[in-house]
Amino acid sequence: MLKYRLPGALPGEKIIKILRKDLLILFGKFILTLILAGLPALVGFIMLNIYPNLWQGETSYPLIVLAVSGYVLFIWLFLFFSFIDYYLDVWLITSQRIIDIRQEGFFSRTVAELKLSQIQDVTSELKGVLKFIFRFGDVYVQTAGEVQRFTFRQIPHPEEVRDIIIKLVEENKRHHAQCEKH
């Protein structure tokens, strides 16, 4: 059984799969952070060419130190938060339901769940060159509930996930049918 603290775990419920966005998404965020981190170096290089004595000035040097320190702290927090944003967005497929946990910014967290018995249709989508090469995409789950469509965004191997959900839905239907007979 996969280890994860299930929100509102049902009796006999087992986690089948834990899904997060593809690692390429996280890699993209790291690249963006690296670019942002490199910007002060570029700006500094340009400024030193225009004002060669900038580093020795008795007022310019402290201002540069303060600005660089503040910027580096900001980038470090930005990087950490990018990771948290990636890591805390989770989809859980259990033996009885699908749970969508989304971290949106610093102060917003959404948890939505969908029972397997409410699933009507499952579609996987791989659209775009990068997604096709690296095999990540979206899975759409059509439901009979209040939320019409449940979406797994940018997950690895969406076709496999689709197959898992369909298999679980069929098992769930068989189980309910057997329970009704008895």
Tell me which residues touch other proteins (CB under 8 A): 3-5, 51, 53-54, 57-63, 65-66, 69-70, 72-74, 76-77, 80-81, 83-84, 87-88, 101, 103, 106-107, 109
From residue 106, alpha-carbon distances to 75, 80, 125, 154 in Å are 16, 12, 30, 21
* Residue whose CB is less far from other proteins, 10 or 72: 72
Rounded CA separation 155/139 (Å): 8
Query: In the bound complex, what is the minimum distance in angstroms from residue 57's beta carbon to other proteins?
Result: 4
Choose among 126, 172, 154: nearest CA to 12. Answer: 172
* Residue whose CB is less far from other proteins, 57 or 128: 57
* Residue whose CB is less far from other proteins, 31 or 73: 73
109-115 sheet: strands from edge to edge: 15-19, 90-94, 97-103, 109-115
Query: In the bound complex, what is the minimum distance in angstroms from residue 65's beta carbon to other proteins?
Result: 5
**Residue 9, C-beta contacts closer than 8 angstroms, at least 6 positions apart:** none
* Residue whose CB is less far from other proteins, 27 or 61: 61
Query: In the bound complex, what is the minimum distance in angstroms from residue 9's beta carbon to other proteins?
Result: 14
**Residue 49, C-beta contacts closer than 8 angstroms, at least 6 positions apart:** none
Query: In the bound complex, what is the minimum distance in angstroms from residue 161's beta carbon to other proteins?
Result: 20
